[in-house]
């Protein structure tokens, strides 16, 4: 089985810089990409440190962009966002910094709007069953029970 690198060091550097410039990336994603190119560990470390020093790779910036996109576009809650960032091996500090970018009022408005729209579209035998389906939906989206329940009790 041939395990030679797909690209030389300089070619890999150009390609990975372009890949990082296109969209925010994290260390884990870049390491995975470079490994898929059969780069050896020494070259991966060299490229990662070069990306960090040239500001192509920044964990805090990645966390902030990730949180912003997942919350505003996909309407994910903090719990789900945090889980996905942990899967990408982002530090707790960067996760907290990213999550702090979510405006509390906007977060609560999003929960309220999701509850209202989901209640209208959910079918069930009775109110209790409909509320349970909505709760399950919002928990799956990563919203906290203590923030969801008051909207359903009204």
CA 69 to chain centre: 8
Cβ-based neighbours of 80, under 8 Å, separated by 6 or more: 70, 140, 141, 142
pLDDT of 103 above 60: yes
Structure tokens at 130: 């409909």
What number is the average pLDDT over the span 69-95? 97
What number is the average pLDDT over the span 104-111? 96
What number is the average pLDDT over the span 29-55? 94
pLDDT of 1 above 70: no
Cβ-based neighbours of 6, under 8 Å, separated by 6 or more: 12, 37, 38, 39
Q: For the segment 126-151, what is each residue's pLDDT rounded down to a tens digit?
A: 888 999 999 999 999 999 999 999 99
Total-model pTM: 0.88
Burial status of residue 74 (CB atoms within 10 A of its CB: 0-12, 13-18, 19 or more): exposed
pLDDT value, residue 8 = 87
- Mean pLDDT, all residues of the chain: 93
Distance CA 58, CA 94 (A): 10
Higher pLDDT, 5 or 89: 89
pLDDT of 2 above 70: no
pLDDT value, residue 3 = 65
């Amino acid at each position: 089985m041939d395990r030679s690198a797909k690209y030389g060091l300089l070619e890999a550097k150009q390609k990975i810089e372009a890949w990082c410039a296109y969209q925010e990336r994290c260390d884990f994603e870049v390491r995975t990409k470079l490994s898929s190119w059969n780069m050896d560990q020494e070259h991966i470390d060299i490229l990662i440190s070069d990306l960090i020093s040239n500001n192509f790779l920044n964990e805090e910036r990645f966390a902030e962009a990730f949180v912003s996109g997942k919350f505003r576009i996909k309407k994910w809650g903090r719990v789900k966002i945090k889980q996905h960032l942990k899967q990408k091996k982002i530090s707790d500090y960067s996760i907290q910094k990213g999550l702090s970018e979510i405006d509390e009022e906007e977060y609560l408005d999003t929960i309220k709007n999701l509850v209202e729209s989901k209640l209208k579209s959910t079918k069930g035998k009775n109110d209790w069953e409909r509320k349970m389906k909505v709760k399950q939906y919002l928990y799956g989206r990563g919203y906290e029970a203590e923030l969801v329940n008051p909207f359903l009790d009204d």
